[in-house]
Amino acid sequence: MTSAVTLSDLHRTFGQVAALDGLTWSAPVGRITAVLGPNGAGKTTAIECAVGLGRPDRGTVRVLDTDPWQAGAEHRARVGVMLQAGGLPNGTRPLRLLRHLSRLYADPVDVDAVARRLGVTDFASTTVRRLSGGQKQRLALAASLLGRPEVLFLDEPAAGLDPHGRLDVWDLVAEQRDAGTTVVVTTHSFEEAERLADHLVIMNAGRTVAEGTPDSVTGGRSLEDVYFSLTRKGAA
Amino acid sequence: MSTPTTPVTSTRSGAASPRRRILAQAAFEVGSLLRNGEQLLVSLVLPAMALVGLSLTSSPSLGPGRRIDVATAGVIALCVISSAFTAQAISTGFDRRYAVLRYLGVTPLGRSGLVAAKVLATLAVEVVQVGVIAVLGAALGWRPQASGIAFAVLFVVVGTWAFVALALLLAGTLRAEAVLAIANLVWVLLLGLGGVIVPRTELPAGVSHVAAYLPSAGLADGLRSALVAGQLNLVALVVVLAWGLLATVLAARLFRFDD
């Protein structure tokens, strides 16, 4: 199967800390790849390298056959990103922001439809600064879809959402996959990984400790068991 | 699970043209600036009050030339400093804090598009500021030298470049709270001692000599030479260009998109 995203032997060090220590995984085209790992495993650093916000000290990153570091606007238009920190301007209202961001694309999706779908219309009159964590998540997810991306990077998209909100997000992510989009989701939730993943990556201490289809990774055991046995402190 | 499908590229969007992206971002930034009450106060209300105040009094001394002509040129320099430096430093500092710069860096706009849009937005706000000050000045008796207007436009553009570069240098290297404090403090200091409204020749001897090398005095002197005397002030232009070049080189090297 061809891959839309390939990270090969990535090393990235911050001071004395090796955030990525020979990280290798790939995300197959048109599938959902879930990346699981404890805090500090290097998930966010890996996503930053994949979207061109960071550059590995060593190793190669390919996204849609392009090196994302300083890639051009056409490449960035093909990649949708939802960052953990959000990155949304604070002083504006949600729909004004989405309309603005949609103008950066030649043929964006219908802003009102996406906003309705993610419930952004329910808090349209609140400035971004005053949104709850869950509302910000929905808005950031809506923003990531505006340019009809071929690859979608979602850094913990359902974190902080209530059960209904999580279900909405999962349905939407599955829909994107069904429309042919490659999705990479980082998560701490076994439930999320089990529900969504066509392809599973487990990271620990800057490396990949398991990768494959969910069945091949778990081998009949529960995902939770496999995860803890691979990521407990001292596990190699 | 669905069968894997190759994305159908014809349904994909692609990026808008660079021109459209930058114009969209500039329009968004202008809208945000004009919606921000505190910023309007610094950009428009305070300069207008300074102009009215100077026209109604005879102190401080503004030196040779008709008082309203000298004052209006200085207030236009103050407008440029407010928008290009103070407003831009504060908004960029907080955009950096809240990861907005990172986010826009991964959209088709990109980092260079963002910087271009900020310069364009600043120029657009200055058109509004200068328009308001010109009308107010005219009502108070301002008569600019027509032969110097092209030189004045040159100084506004070069001054905007220099002060936006200084703003980005500040906003890209310090914490957002420090940027807020310093940007406002610098605005007040330049207003009082930087040879902006009160020409540096009217300042005490020690201050006057230092001010000669400041971008604030360079910009304001250049505008006064252009609009009061109709002349191109080359020394002032060199001072502003040197600051623009220095700040651009330093900002390009030191600016950090992450907080």
Q: What is the pLDDT of residues B152-194, one digit of tens each?
A: 999 999 999 999 999 999 999 999 999 999 999 999 999 889 9
Give a yes or no: residue A112 inside a domain. no
Rounded CA separation A141/A161 (Å) = 12
CB nearest to A103's CB, from B16, B32, B257: B16
pLDDT at B38: 82
Name the domain count of chain A: 1
Hey, what's the torsion of the CAs at B173, B179, B184, B190, to 10 degrees? Answer: -10
Range of the domain at A71: 3-88+130-231
Give a yes or no: residue A27 inside a domain. yes
Measured over all CA atoms, what is the biggest interatomic distance in chain B, rounded to whole angstroms?
A: 82
Q: Residues 6 or more apart from B126 whose CB is under 8 A from it?
A: B79, B80, B83, B84, B156, B160
Q: Please state the φ and ψ torsions of residue A220, each to the nearest 5 degrees.
A: 90, -15
**B10 has pLDDT over 60:** no
With 0-12 / 13-18 / 19 or more C-beta atoms within 10 angstroms meaning exposed / middle / buried, residue B146 is exposed
Average pLDDT, chain A: 93
Q: Could A77 and B14 be called an inter-chain contact, meaning their C-beta atoms sit closer than 8 Å?
A: yes
Tell me how many residue pairs between chain A and chain B have CB atoms under 8 A apart: 128
Give a yes or no: residue A220 inside a domain. yes
Residue A92 in tokens = 């504006």
pLDDT at B4: 43
Average pLDDT, chain B: 91
Could you give the ipTM of this predicted complex?
A: 0.90
pLDDT tens digit sequence for B36-54: 888 888 889 999 999 999 9
Rounded CA separation B83/B178 (Å) = 18
DSSP strands (E only) in A15-92: 17-28, 32-36, 58-63, 79-82
Q: Could A87 and B113 be called an inter-chain contact, meaning their C-beta atoms sit closer than 8 Å?
A: no
pLDDT at B9: 43
CB nearest to A87's CB, from B8, B17, B100: B100
In chain A, residues with a C-beta closer than 8 Å to the C-beta of B28 are 92, 100
Residue A64 in tokens = 């849609």
pLDDT at B7: 43
CB nearest to A90's CB, from B9, B11, B98: B98
Give a yes or no: residue A12 inside a domain. yes
pLDDT tens digit sequence for B54-78: 999 988 889 889 999 999 999 999 9
In chain A, residues with a C-beta closer than 8 Å to the C-beta of B1 are 198
CA-based R_g, chain B, Å:
20
Tell me the shortest Cα–Cα distance from A229 to chain B, in angstroms: 27
Q: What is the mean predicted confidence (pLDDT) over B124-129?
A: 95
**B106 has pLDDT over 50:** yes
Q: Which of B152, B130, B159, B144 is nearest to B47 (CA)?
A: B130
Report the CATH number that the domain containing residue A10 is assigned in CATH. 3.40.50.300
pLDDT at B192: 87
B7–A contact, CB cutoff 8 A: yes
Give a yes or no: residue A125 inside a domain. no
Positions in chain A whose pLDDT score sits under 70: 1, 233-236
CB nearest to B12's CB, from A88, A89, A150: A150
A215–B contact, CB cutoff 8 A: no
Q: Which of B10, B17, B38, B98 is the best substitution to test chain A (most A C-beta atoms within 10 A)?
A: B98
Interface subset of A 129-168, CB within 8 angstroms of B: 147-150
Q: Could B14 and A52 be called an inter-chain contact, meaning their C-beta atoms sit closer than 8 Å?
A: no
Q: Which residues pair with A210 in a beta bridge?
A: A202
Give a yes or no: residue A120 inside a domain. no
Tell me the shortest Cα–Cα distance from B2 to chain A, in angstroms: 6
Rounded CA separation B191/A112 (Å) = 46
Give a yes or no: residue A147 inside a domain. yes
pLDDT at B2: 43
Q: Which of A65, A98, A103, A155 is the best substitution to test chain B (most B C-beta atoms within 10 A)?
A: A103
Q: Which of B13, B32, B40, B256 is the best substitution to test chain A (most A C-beta atoms within 10 A)?
A: B13
CB A188 within 8 A of CB A156: yes
Q: Could A73 and B113 be called an inter-chain contact, meaning their C-beta atoms sit closer than 8 Å?
A: yes
Give a yes or no: residue A8 inside a domain. yes
Q: Please state the φ and ψ torsions of residue A40, each to the nearest 5 degrees.
A: 85, 5
pLDDT at B143: 95
